[in-house]
Amino acid sequence: MIATMKRLALAFAVLLSITTAHANDAAYYKALTTKYETFVNKASRGQNVGSLDGGLAIEQCQAGNPAGIPVLEQKLRNARIDLPARE
């Protein structure tokens, strides 16, 4: 009985940490996307410089795929824009 309770507690802790990580990632995706759209796309005066890979990275982030993160981070760094804080 105690072993079962320990397993349930461990499973709950793991699930809670995964849920928290996804929530933090979602907030970071949103912050990256907002900065990219505000400072990179709008700074290019509608020319959408690098829009193909940047647009794909935004779509990946919106779908919850972390593969878009490094692309958006690099685009912001290239534009000399500070990255948002990651919690």
As a whole number of angstroms, the distance between CA 1 and CA 9 comes to 12
- Residue for token pair 């919106």: 62
Query: Crossing angle, helix 68-78 and helix 51-62, to 10 degrees?
Result: 140
Backbone conformation region of residue 64, classed left if phi is above 0, alpha if psi is from -120 to 50, else beta: left
**What's the pLDDT tens digit per position in 30-57?**
999 999 988 887 655 555 455 678 889 9
Q: How confident is the model at residue 15 (pLDDT cuts 50, 70, 90)?
A: low
Residues 6 or more apart from 51 whose CB is under 8 A from it? 41
